[in-house]
């Protein structure tokens, strides 16, 4: 995936997709409402740009959502753009720590004190200066997740509408979450609105009248959600190296644009041998993240599932170099690999760790689709 790079930000190209596709799945009344809303939005946003700012162009749920939403908004005739921020490894160590602690998780156990504020603020000051040369008065800037919260003040001075959207949180606030929110609250005042995925994620010190709850969305036309026959799922998984056998069909998928893509790249898999097509699979798909607990899933399978069934476990994650804002990905994968190597051979033979290719996000989505349709159980 190529981006047009500046020193501290990258513009991510997204091809427009017509929202007319939704006529296929909405009843006539709902589609008329949808079309009317597009017309109103186009009128209100004429001459303005909607900027979305986050910290990675691929490998996570936010990036996946943005790619689809921006494509449809652009296809509706509204100027929507996507900017990914850059930073030093030290910056992303701090933001990963915030990300973990906002969810109530210890993460690396490090501090969120004045030194971390310094690293965070320095990095985002450089980003903010570049963004300030791109935005225009009247534009709307949507900042996504803790990595971007420190941009609110700089952008607020540019006469743009600033909205901060947080896609993560904790249902039950503990001391770690309190620490993370105390850190973020230094930067958040001044945004015109705050969007959360769940009401319980909304922080108590934010003005209630500015809080909006918008649940996560999926793209029904993504290759991840396309209808797929079992024969096609098998062909894709065989070509990706995730099960053994000979593909009886061409492993293709339909891109959101309507064009055809082929699954040609293979996953990197840690295993003794690939599972046979007849093998019943338990599958987990996620980033390599301690919050997803791949080692716990592996141990639970080895101790409680493997002794009583012939099933195999396949834990699939993104290729670790593909997620720019996650410095722990390689560490978590290595920890999982060490734990896998420590399993008794009989259990190890039935556990597979796969890094899925990310060079083509649609191809990756098609592989995930095939995995989930092929599996007996999805964790």
Q: Where are the beta strands (DSSP E) in the chain?
A: 4-5, 9-11, 50-54, 80-85, 140-144, 161-166, 193-196, 211-213, 252-254, 260-262, 268-270, 281-285, 312-318, 351-356, 377-378
Domains and CATH numbers, the chain: 4-213 (3.40.50.2000), 230-378 (3.40.50)
Report the pLDDT value the prediction gives residue 270, as an integer from 0 to 100: 98
- The answer for residues whose C-beta is within 8 angstroms of residue 234's C-beta and 6 or more apart is 243, 245, 247, 248, 249, 277, 370, 374
pLDDT range class, residue 59, cuts 50, 70, 90: confident
- Write the pLDDT tens digit of every residue in 125-150: 999 999 999 999 999 999 999 999 99
pLDDT band for 58, please (50, 70, 90 cuts).
Answer: confident
Q: What is the mean pLDDT of residues 11-31?
A: 96
pLDDT of residue 6: 54
**Residue that is written with structure tokens 């850059």 in the block:** 86
d(CA 203, CA 181): 7
Which of the four pLDDT bands, split at 50, 70 and 90, describes residue 38? very high
Q: Does the structure show a pLDDT above 60 at 2?
A: no
**Which pLDDT score, from 0 to 100, does residue 4 have?**
53
Q: Check residues 20 and 325 and name the one with the higher pLDDT.
A: 20
Q: What is the pLDDT of residues 223-245, one digit of tens each?
A: 999 999 999 999 999 999 999 99
């Amino acid at each position: 995936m190529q981006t047009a790079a500046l020193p501290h930000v990258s513009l991510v190209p997204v091809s427009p997709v017509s929202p007319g596709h939704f006529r296929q799945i909405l009843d006539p009344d709902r589609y008329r409402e949808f079309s009317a809303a597009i017309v109103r939005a186009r009128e209100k946003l004429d001459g303005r740009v909607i900027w979305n700012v986050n910290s990675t162009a691929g490998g996570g749920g936010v990036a996946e959502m943005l790619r689809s939403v921006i494509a449809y908004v652009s296809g509706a005739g509204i100027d929507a753009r996507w900017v990914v921020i850059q930073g030093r490894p030290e910056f992303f160590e701090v933001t990963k720590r915030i990300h973990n602690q906002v969810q109530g998780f210890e993460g690396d156990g490090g501090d969120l004190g004045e030194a971390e504020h310094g690293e965070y603020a320095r990095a985002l000051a450089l980003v903010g200066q570049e963004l300030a040369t791109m935005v225009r008065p009247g534009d709307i800037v949507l900042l996504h997740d803790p990595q971007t919260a420190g941009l609110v003040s700089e952008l607020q001075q540019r006469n743009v509408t600033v909205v901060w959207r947080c896609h993560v949180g904790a249902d039950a606030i503990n001391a770690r979450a309190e620490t993370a929110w105390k850190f973020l609250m230094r930067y958040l005042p001044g945004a015109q609105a705050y969007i959360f995925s769940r009401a319980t994620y909304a922080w108590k010190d934010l003005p209630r009248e500015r809080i909006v709850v918008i649940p996560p969305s999926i793209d029904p036309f993504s290759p991840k959600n396309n209808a797929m026959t079992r024969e096609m799922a098998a062909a894709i998984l065989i070509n990706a190296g995730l099960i053994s056998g000979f593909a009886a069909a061409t492993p293709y998928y339909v891109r959101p644009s309507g064009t055809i893509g082929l699954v040609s790249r293979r996953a990197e898999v840690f295993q003794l041998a690939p599972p046979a097509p007849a093998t019943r699979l338990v599958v987990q798909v996620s980033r390599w993240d301690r919050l997803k607990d791949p080692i716990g899933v592996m141990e639970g399978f080895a101790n409680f599932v493997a002794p009583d069934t012939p099933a195999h476990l396949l834990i699939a994650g993104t290729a670790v170099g593909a997620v720019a804002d996650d410095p722990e990905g390689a560490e978590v994968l290595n920890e999982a690999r060490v734990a896998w190597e420590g399993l008794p051979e009989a259990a190890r033979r039935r556990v597979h760790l796969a890094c899925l290719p990310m060079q083509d996000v649609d191809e990756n989505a098609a592989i995930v689709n095939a995995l989930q349709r092929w599996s007996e159980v999805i964790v």
